A and B are shown apart, each in its own frame.
Chain A
Amino acid sequence: MYVVTEEPLSLDEMLRAVSHPGAGGIVLFLGVVRDSNDGRDVKHLEYEAHASAAEASMRTISQDAEARWPGTRVSAAHRTGRLEIGEASVVVAASAPHRAEAFEAARYVIDTLKSETPIWKKEVFEGGAVWIGEEA
């Protein structure tokens, strides 16, 4: 499953999406809002997406991972809207017969998502706000 949603992300659903009898290793990656960035005291984040294009992007990236590491199964979900410190903005789940491929596939998917998927993040910090990617 490849989902962009305003609702809190369900780890159970993500695990179910990649679990199957042949999967001996499952990696679940969560990207979580943290309280500081680049020396700034972060208050909260606001995420925005071109939802249909972002879901298509996550699907393509996941399928690329499954092709690159045969036997893996990948699922990805991203949340939009206002997120507080400690909340998960993105979840990538990857399963494989063995753990090495599950780790590699999950890493590849989150790294690629961060550079390609049409999702934007506004960081609201003590003293102002900035769209990440535009900051000096």
Chain B
Amino acid sequence: MMTIRLLFFAQFREALGEGKRTVEVERGATPGVVLARVSAGNQRLESLQSVVRFLVNGELVRGDIDLQDGDELAFVPPVAGG
């Protein structure tokens, strides 16, 4: 198992009621898989899934990369800075 530190922003933070969470995932788990698990049962988050991007340790990555033990994973819903 691996320890992954999740960061929640915007709709995620509101829907889940927290800004961060530490989870244990199996080796080979991807950001996409973790997103699906976190969103499961939450209609608002499930409907966002297709437009969510991923930051691992601050870098934008694809949803199908292999996570590493200790990684920080942030879910990025549509951005709106400025």
Would you call B9 and A56 a contact (CB within 8 A)?
no
Within 8 A of B (CB), among A21-36: 31
Would you call A131 and B81 a contact (CB within 8 A)?
no
**A31-59 vs B, Cβ < 8 Å mask (1 yes, 0 no):** 10000000000000001111011101000
CA distance A64 to B45 in the complex (A): 34
**A99-111 vs B, Cβ < 8 Å mask (1 yes, 0 no):** 0000000000010
Bin chain B's interface residue count. 10 to 19
CA distance A53 to B73 in the complex (A): 12
Q: Is A116 among interface residues, defined by CB-CB distance under 8 A?
A: yes
Bin chain A's interface residue count. 20 to 34
Would you call B82 and A110 a contact (CB within 8 A)?
yes
Choose one: B59, B74, B82; the contact of A90 (CB below 8 Å): B82
A-binding residues in B (CB < 8 A): 7, 9-11, 13, 48, 51, 55, 58-59, 74, 76-82
